[in-house]
Amino acid sequence: MRKLTERAIKALPRQNAEQIKTIVNDLVEGNKVLETVLSSLPAGIMVSDINHDLLFINTQARRFLKLSGNDFLEKKIWKAVHDKDISDFIESNLLSQERVDEKDFNIQIGDKVKTLALSILPLVDRGTIKGSFISLEDVTEKRAESLRLRRAESLASLTTLAAGVAHEIKNPLGSISIHIQLMQKCLNAENDVCKADLLDYLNVVNEEVDRLNQIVVNYLFAVRPMDTDPKCRCINSLIEELIEFIHFELEQESIEIIKNLEKDLPELKLDDKLIKQAFLNIIKNAQAAMKGEAGLLKISTFRVHDSVAVSIADTGPGIPEELKDKIFEPYFTTKDSGSGLGLTLVYKIMKEHSAEIRLNSIVGEGTNFTFIFPIPQKEQRLLGWDGEKDEI
Ligand SMILES: Nc1ncnc2c1ncn2[C@@H]1O[C@H](COP(=O)(O)OP(=O)(O)O)[C@@H](O)[C@H]1O
Ligand SMILES: [Mg+2]
């Protein structure tokens, strides 16, 4: 279209009146097609020039912003918009030349409240900014859907958790009820009450009450938000301290520890106690997985772009494909006396640290958990500056 126009303009001096009329007619027709296309778009579109004067507005944008007539054309774009919030937002962002990606506004259209996502992009022509492009998208359904999804997700995890608790409390409750019946039988018996039996039953009831209590404590721990106290610290020294703490026990079980810690890693924002707890849970699982065999526990740290990774790998039996999604679920365990909360806690701690967890496990070879921690902004800037200094 643009090439056609340019060619037509170039050729203009050589054309007679009839030919010029045809060219102009063609251009008008082309323009009409463009306008029809822009007007039938479901998104609202506004275009302004470099002075922020409104050049074009399509039908949908007029509908969203309740504009009629044309007297707002070639005025400052924000003056054309009646809604004060939207108008102020456009004005301040155009004047500061900020790019905007989907800022939501709620507006009333008819008897419905709609959510509009407003984006502002610079209009660039051959490398220079010629104005701005504002788009308005009706995202009412999209936002409602994502809210529904998020609610469903948290409901689903609460259901899994509640199902886990229900399953966990069944056994102690059953046991308590049986022992109370036994005590009743004992007391109702014609012959003398056997004190020793009663004491035994009472002890069992006591232990089961403790178990119930522990289940409730664990449950609360799993659902409550976590208190973290992150401080800048070196991940390698944290790992060294942890190894110092556990190496004796591992070596006694013939598990060899291999350390591979990259030097000069930037500091990370870590809650010392929680991260140690998380890594300890992973190491304990590795230890359990390698029980009875001379295994290897490999702990490595290394840098990946803007992150630092910690990998903990064992040479245990590995995790079958169908269990990989389940192991982080609360109360999921394959152990007779497992709590099934170890990895749930790891997941929670890593989430608090914005760290990503990657699981790589091959049946018959071993399991590798990698944790990818973001490098704090301040550390990143310092690194960039050092790099520049080196080049001078
Ligand atoms: N390193 C590993 N090797 C093999 N299986 C593992 C490993 N780590 C975790 N798992 C599996 O994940 C399950 C859940 O682990 P976790 O949440 O720590 O609970 P628990 O240790 O009480 O079973 C374990 O029961 C086990 O089946
Ligand atoms: Mg565990």
Residue nearest ligand 1's atom 23 by CA: 333
On whether both 7 and 106 belong to a single domain, the answer is yes
pLDDT of residue 196: 84
Find out whether the beta carbon of 331 lies less than 6 Å from any atom of ligand 1: no
Q: What is the pLDDT of residue 382?
A: 43
* 372, part of any domain: yes
Asked whether residue 148 is assigned to any structural domain, the reply reads no
Which residues, by Cβ under 5 Å, contact ligand 2, an ion? 285, 342
**Residue nearest to ligand 1 atom 1, measured at CA:** 286
- State the virtual CA torsion across 92, 94, 97, 99 in degrees, nearest 10: 100
Domain with 75 in it: what CATH number? 3.30.450.20
The response to whether residue 332 sits with its C-beta less than 6 Å from ligand 1 reads: yes
**Does 83 share its domain with 60?**
yes
Burial of 114 (0-12, 13-18, 19+ CB in 10 A): middle
Residue 358 in any domain: the answer is yes
Which ligand 1 atom minimizes the distance to the CA of 332?
14
- Does residue 387 lie within any of the structural domains? no
Tell me, what DSSP letter sits at residue 53?
Answer: B
Structural contact between residues 54 and 71, judged by C-beta atoms closer than 8 angstroms: no
Alpha carbon distance 343, 281 (integer Å): 7
211 located within any domain: yes
Q: Among 161, 280, 282, 285, which is best to mutate for testing ligand 1, by the most ligand atoms less than 8 A from CB? A: 285
Consecutive sets of 10 residues in the chain, 392 residues long: mean pLDDT of each?
68 78 82 82 89 89 84 82 90 86 87 90 83 91 83 72 80 90 84 80 91 82 79 96 94 95 95 95 96 93 94 97 88 87 90 92 96 79 38 29
Question: Are 12 and 135 members of one domain?
Answer: yes
Q: Residue 206 maps to which CATH number? A: 1.10.287.130
Q: What is the pLDDT of residues 9-43, one digit of tens each?
A: 777 777 778 878 887 888 888 788 888 888 888 89
- CATH code, 258: 3.30.565.10
Give the number of residues written for the chain.
Answer: 392
Same domain membership, residue 7 and residue 137: yes
290/374 same-domain check: yes
Output DSSP code: residue 246: H
Under 8 Å between Cβ of 90 and 120 = yes
Are 87 and 10 members of one domain? yes
Please give the Cα distance from 351 to 229 (Å, whole number). 14
State whether the beta carbon of 368 lies less than 6 angstroms from ligand 1.
no
Whether 236 and 369 map to the same domain: the answer is yes
209 in the same domain as 159: yes
131 and 160 in a single domain? The answer is: no
**Residue 391 resides in a domain:** no
Whether ligand 1 lies within 6 angstroms of the CB of 335 is answered as yes
* Ligand 1 mean position, distance from CA 271 (Å): 23
Q: How many CB atoms lie within 10 A of CB 329?
A: 18
Q: Are residues 132 and 49 in the same domain?
A: yes
Q: Which of 153, 83, 94, 156 is nearest to 119 (CA)?
A: 94
For residue 333, the model assigns a pLDDT of 92
Task: Name the residue range of residue 279's domain.
Answer: 231-381
- Our count of domains for the chain comes to 3
Query: What's the pLDDT at 222?
Result: 72
